Chain A
Amino acid sequence: MAYEKFTILRSSAVPMPNENVDTDQIIPARFLKATERKGFGDNLFRDWRYNSDNTPKADFVLNMPTYSGKILVGGKNFGSGSSREHAAWAIYDYGFRCVVSSFFADIFQNNSINVGILPVRVSPEFLEKIFAAIEADPKTELEVNLPAQTITLLATGESESFAINEYKKHNLTNGYDDIDYLLSMKNEIAAFAETRPF
């Protein structure tokens, strides 16, 4: 599935400091019934975002005009729980290109990269700084530089570097995916399969 190439992103950010935001909250199970990958952004954080009569909850961050941007900043252990890639689709479809947290759940992190979202893991201290900066000024801009592997609070210049696998970085910056890579080694895979005992 093609996605936008990721290099340098400058944007304001949406804060969501809750810890352990699980993928059931990001996209509840009842929205997983589609057989095509489209429209998931409308139901991103559905039950936190809307009342049962489908009116928006005024106090939920996605409904506050104050906050906007292509970066979602989440609390520790973001994306825990179900392996549903639909959670990453919903985040991407809504318009986010980057999620920042001090800690990501493994499967969510993989899914994000596979759909073109950059998960940026920062220290708990830097995460607090980002939340504080957004609280002080909701228009605070962040720069996420994938080639340089840095995230910077533009107003103050405070910066931290983040880790990413070279291979995954190459994929994200070029819009490639793992399947392209694996399809190129089909003969090697077929030969390996012959050696398996079951």
Chain B
Amino acid sequence: MSTPKTLFDKVWDEHVIRQVKDGPDVLFIDRHFIHEVTSPVAFLGLESRGASVLFSGRTFATADHNTPTLNQHLPVADPLSANQLAALERNATHYGISHWGLGHQKNGIVHVVGPENGITLPGMTIVCGDSHTSTHGAFGAIAFGIGTSEVEMVLATQCIMQPKPKKMRITVNGKVGKAVLPKDVILYIISQTSASGATGYFVEYAGEVFENMSMEGRMTVCNMTIEMGARGGMIAPDETTLNYLKGRDLSPKGEQWDKLVPYWQTLKTDEGATFDLDLTFDAADIEPQITYGTNPGLGTGVTHQIPMADAVKDGSASYKKSLQYMGFAENESMLGKPVDFVFLGSCTNGRIEDFRAFASIVKGRQKADHITAWLVPGSHVVEKQIKDEGILDILTQAGFELRQPGCSACLAMNEDKIPAGKYAVSTSNRNFEGRQGPGARTLLASPLVAAAAAVTGVVTDPRQLI
């Protein structure tokens, strides 16, 4: 009997080509996603070294961070953004890399289009120059974000050099309550562990809550695992995973599929395998969440008060600076806080289930007059689903408009910036100072909490509207 292994060990160990003495592992990378922002300097580096792309078929390019969400048929107005988009297209063409640029029917956010097209598969190693690459861990892949030097490294050698992280398991048992979405589950976990609580670890999620969760929900959870400092998160593939993948455009087909299924079924943590840290939470403790501070760990149940400084893990000075930036004070109630903007979208919550959830609350209601709402699908595929399912009609009747796909106001690299001092309830992943525009104040929340804010104009408990 061999030593019991965790899911993470199995996938990691299978990809190690060489263990450097007193050094990192040389890890083979199955899939490499690139986008316009973190790749141009990597390609320049490649050229200056006289190197080339080793396996162009293992790399996929999409444009997302900079792309406008209106009038995508027109030339991109910002010359710097246009320049980056052109560089991606030029590099992809030159090296024979598949490229879903602006206007392509498959275009969208890298972490949305990878899974929805069957490029992401269980047992893979996946990297991208974007920290939310952790999203793909939902499929039982080891997926993590890298820097531009590493993008160059993977282009040139299809490998990366990494010390093996420690392992953490997060188990959530029980059933989640009414109006509690996967976003609430992960915001709750981050609030309990803090923004640095999982640094140095790779997380596996286990327990009833994740077993019963949809693939899109699992992606939301793995997506935000990086926000507690972890390198990534993963969930063992199961029937839900295979049902999601079967028949997708680039998923394996026929005999190849049949061969992979038995392998994929081995991808789970063995009985008796150990973790460096094991955390357990009870689903009953999780209510719809909202953040009040300037890192994703500073969040709480929507009906709660903002904690006192001594109750949080961040240092008191940093905490007070955070509340000052937000214009909030200790012990204030989050319910009823005025909101100016609502953003539905991003690689965290720009999928069809998120739009269905949002529509479930706004149906038959009207957008609050003073709210500016940016509803941004994660991809053209999601955009089409929104139209086909009649969700667009519901949104339109409630006074909302749909924009075109991209990262948009999540990181505000395009025109979609929240103005200084304004409050935004956002389904995105980061509430850092200035993240959604210089001076912008972000409250992270689920699509249901965002919808409740969009129709009432203030922070509202979505359970009151269901």
Question: Among A6-14, A21-29, A152-160, which stretch is in contact with chain B?
Answer: A21-29
A105-137 CB contact bits vs B (8 Å, 1 = yes)?
Answer: 111001100110000000000000000000000
When distances are taken between beta carbons in the complex, the residues of chain A under 8 Å from B22 are 165-167
Instruction: Please determine whether A189 and B158 come into contact, CB atoms closer than 8 angstroms.
Output: yes
- For A22, the chain B residues whose CB sits under 8 A away are 295, 430, 432
Docked complex: A170-198 residues within 8 A CB-CB of B? 177-179, 181-183, 185-186, 188-190, 192-193, 196-198
Say yes or no: A186 contacts B438, CB within 8 Å. no
Chain A CB count within 10 A is highest, among B65, B144, B411, for B411
Scan A75-87; emit 1 where CB is below 8 A from any B CB, else 0: 1110011111110
Enumerate chain B residues within 8 angstroms of A88, measured Cβ to Cβ: 147
Contact residues, B45-93 vs A (CB, 8 A)? 45, 49, 51, 54-55, 65-66, 78, 80-81, 83-84, 87
Residue A52 interfacial (CB < 8 Å): yes
B273 within 8 A of A: no
Q: Are B438 and A179 in contact (CB under 8 A)?
A: no
| Given known contacts A24-B430, A114-B147, A182 and B26 CB-to-CB distance under 8 angstroms | yes
Does chain A have a CB within 8 A of B129? yes
Using a CB-CB cutoff of 8 Å, which residues 9-46 of chain B contact chain A?
17-18, 20-24, 26, 28, 30, 37-38, 40-41, 44-45
Please report the C-alpha to C-alpha distance between residue A110 and residue B150 in the assembled complex, in whole angstroms: 9
Interface size class of A (residues with CB under 8 A): 35 or more
For residue B213, CB closer than 8 A to chain A, the reply is no
**Pair count A-B, CB < 8 A:** 206
Given contacts A76-B315, A192-B28, whether A32 and B430 have CB atoms under 8 Å apart is: no
- CA gap between A45 and B170 in the complex, in Å: 35
Chain B, interface size category, equals 35 or more
Q: How far is the CA of A168 from the CA of B22 in the complex (A)?
A: 9
Pair A29/B147 contact, Cβ less than 8 Å: no
Given A33-B83, A168-B23, A183-B157, residue A197 in contact with residue B196 (CB < 8 A): no
Q: Is the CB of B30 within 8 A of A196?
A: yes
Contact A198 B434 (CB under 8 A): no
B324 within 8 A of A: no
The docked-state distance in angstroms from the alpha carbon of A190 to that of B17 is: 10
Structural contact, A185 and B26, CB atoms closer than 8 A: yes
B353 contacts across to A, CB distance below 8 A:
none
Interface presence of B121 (CB below 8 A): yes
Residues of chain A lying within 8 A (CB to CB) of residue B460: none
Is A19's CB within 8 Å of the partner chain B?
A: yes
**Which residues of B are found within 8 Å of A148, using beta-carbon distances?**
none
In the assembled complex, the CB of B213 is this many whole angstroms from the nearest CB of chain A, namely: 25
CB distance from B276 to the nearest CB of A (A): 15
Whether A103 contacts B199 by the Cβ 8 Å rule is yes
A37 in the interface (beta carbon within 8 A) = yes
Q: Is B7 an interface residue (CB 8 A)?
A: no
Q: Residue A55 at the B interface, CB < 8 A?
A: no
Residue ID in chain A nearest B314 by CB atoms: A19
Given pairs A32-B37, A33-B81, A52-B420, 17 additional interface contacts (CB within 8 A)? A18-B317, A22-B295, A24-B433, A29-B412, A33-B37, A33-B66, A35-B83, A36-B41, A47-B433, A75-B315, A77-B229, A105-B199, A111-B147, A114-B150, A189-B17, A193-B158, A198-B260
Q: 5 nearest interchain CB pairs?
A: A167-B23, A85-B147, A166-B22, A33-B80, A83-B145
